[in-house]
Amino acid sequence: MISLLKNHSGSAALVVGALLMAVAFAGSRSTAEEARVVPPPAVDEAKGGSAPEIAVVAGGCFWGVQGVFQHVNGVVSAVSGYDGGAKETAHYEMTSNGDTGHAESVRITFDPGKISYGHVLQIFFSVAHDPTELNRQGPDEGTQYRSAIFPQNAEQARVAKAYIAQLGSAHVFKAPIVTTIEENRSFYPAEGYHQDFLVRNPTYPYIVFNDLPKIENLKRLFPGDYRADPVLVGAKS
C-alpha cells in the first residue's frame, strides 16, 4: 500500500487504487498522528539573533513535515531531504529500502528574531508527528521514517536533549518518546518532485488522509504561529 500511495508515476489507475486503499486503511486505523498541546521548552536558545538559523528534523514522510513548517511564521524555508546517511545514498529509491541510515528529513531555515529553536521543536512534537512511534509514522514503516532531531551545533543538541527529558518527565505522551538526537550528520535535499508536494497535491490521497490534518492542527493549536500562505521552495527557483 505504501508504494502505491507514494508512487509518482502519474497513472490515473494507480491514483484511484491508492485512494480506495487509503479509504480502507482509514477505516481500520487513524492515519494522521494525534495532535496534542505540549508545554514550551524550559531550556531554549536566546531569541533575537539576526542571522537565519537552521533546524533539521525527521518525523515520517517529509511531505507532511515540510508542509507544516511552510505554514509557520518566522520560517524562511523548509526543504525536504535526507539526513543520517552518506551522500551517495541520499536518493529516494535507495532511502526507501530502509538500510541507508537516512531518514526522510526537513531542513527548516528560520528567523530567530521571530521564532526560537525550542519553539520549532514544540511544533514538531505537537503537530508534525508522533514522537512515540518507533521507526514508523502513520502508515509508513522503516528506519527512514524514524523520529529524529539533527542538531546543527552543541547548543541545539543541549536544547533538544533537555526538551525530550522535560516532556518525558511530565508524561506528556502515553508512551515513551523514541526521538533520536543524531549529531554531526549532513543534510541532502530531496529530488525536485518531492518539494512543495503537499501544496502542489492537496487532493492526493496520502496527503488528504495523513498530512492535511496536520495543517489544520497547526492552525488550531498555534494560531499565532500559523501563516495562511506557505513559503515555497519552488518560489526561489
Residue 16 has pLDDT above 70, yes or no: no
How far, in Å, CA of 121 to CA of 163, rounded? 8
pLDDT band of 8, cuts 50, 70, 90: very low
Which tens digit of pLDDT belongs to each residue from 111-150?
999 999 999 999 999 999 999 999 999 999 999 999 999 9
How far, in Å, CA of 69 to CA of 229, rounded? 11
Q: Are strands 75-83 and 53-59 parallel, antiparallel or unpaired?
A: unpaired
Which tens digit of pLDDT belongs to each residue from 155-198?
999 999 999 999 999 999 999 999 999 999 999 999 999 999 99
Q: Bridge partners of 57?
A: 106, 149
pLDDT band of 28, cuts 50, 70, 90: very low
Q: Just list the catalytic residues.
A: 61
Q: Bridge partners of 147?
A: 59
Q: Domains of the chain, with CATH numbers?
A: 2-227 (3.30.1060.10)
The single residue listed with the C-alpha cell 514538531 is 124
Which tens digit of pLDDT belongs to each residue from 64-118?
999 999 999 999 999 999 999 999 999 999 999 999 999 999 999 999 999 999 9
